[in-house]
Chain A
C-alpha cells in the first residue's frame, strides 16, 4: 500500500541526486531488469523509478505476474522418457565405436 501511495507522488530525482531515468528509458530496460540481466547500476536506477512512477510500477508488477504465471508451467519432462534417455546415454557412454540399438 505504501509503495502504491509513494508512486502517486512524483519525484523527479532520486534521493542520491543521481540522474533519474525517465519512463521511456525504463520501458526500454525493464524487461532486462526483470530478467536479472541489467547491470547493478541500471537496476538501482530502475528500482528508484519504479518506486516513484505509478504507471511504470504497475507495468513492472504486471510483467512480474506474467513471468510468475509462465514459470508455474515449468513441469518436469515425462519421467519414463527421461529414464529411457538416461539409459540410452549410459549405454552410449559404455560403448566404444558402436551405437546402442544399431545392431
Chain B
C-alpha cells in the first residue's frame, strides 16, 4: 500500500495507522476477539463521521476516546451493571475470585502464576495491567482508553502490580522482601 502521503485523506493519514493499536485495546477491553473487532469497526465509523472536526493533533488519544465511548455504549446496551464506578465495584468485590485454572503445561512457573494472578484481579486492575504492561500503552494513552485521569491509571497500576507481586511472594516465586 504505497500511497503518497500528500494525497491521503485525513482519515487515511490519522486513523488507518492506528487500527492495530485500537484492536489491541479493544481486545483488552472486551476479552473477546469478535467483540473487539465489532468495537473497532464501530470506532472507525464514528471517527469517519467526526474526522472533519478533528484538528489532526494526537490522533491516537482522539481515537482511544472514541473507542472508549463506543465501548460504553455497547456495554450500556448489553450489560448495564458495568456502568458502576469500577473502584467501588472493586472495593465491594474484595479479592475477586476467578476460576482456578489447571494448565497441564505449567513449566514456566512465574509466568503461569502471573497469568493466574492476573485473572484473579478485579477488572479495573486487570485492565490497566493489560493496557500498560502487556499492550505497551503509556499512562496517558491508557487514561484516554479508560476515561480516567492518568494519576488513577498509575495508582491502579501500582496496586495491581503489588497484588501480583504478593501473589508471587506467596507461591515462593518472588524473593522475600525482608519485611
Contact = CB atoms under 8 A, between A and B. Distances in A.
B87 to A, nearest CB: 18
B7 to A, nearest CB: 12
Q: What DSSP secondary structure best describes chain A's contact surface?
A: helix
B157 to A, nearest CB: 7
A58 B175 contact: yes
Contacts of B114: 66, 69-70
Contacts of B11: 89, 92-93
Contacts of B178: 54-55, 58
B120 interface: no
A69 to B, nearest CB: 5
Q: What DSSP secondary structure best describes chain B's contact surface?
A: helix
Given A66-B114, A92-B11, A86 B139 contact: no
A22 interface: no
A89 B157 contact: no
Interface stretch (B41-49, B54-62, B73-81): B41-49
A69 B115 CA distance: 9
Interface residues of B, number: 43
Interface string B63-94: 00000000000000000000000000000000
B23 A77 contact: yes
Contact of A93 (B16, B133, B135, B175): B16
A74 interface: yes
Interface in A15-71: 31-32, 35, 37, 54-55, 58-59, 61-63, 65-67, 69-71
7 contacts: A31-B158, A62-B177, A71-B133, A71-B134, A85-B44, A89-B19, A99-B48
Interface of A: 31-32, 35, 37, 54-55, 58-59, 61-63, 65-67, 69-74, 76-78, 81-82, 84-86, 88-90, 92-93, 95, 99
Given A55-B178, A67-B133, 20 more contacts: A35-B132, A35-B139, A61-B175, A62-B177, A65-B174, A66-B161, A66-B164, A69-B110, A69-B111, A70-B129, A73-B115, A74-B134, A76-B20, A77-B23, A81-B33, A85-B23, A89-B11, A89-B16, A90-B16, A99-B45
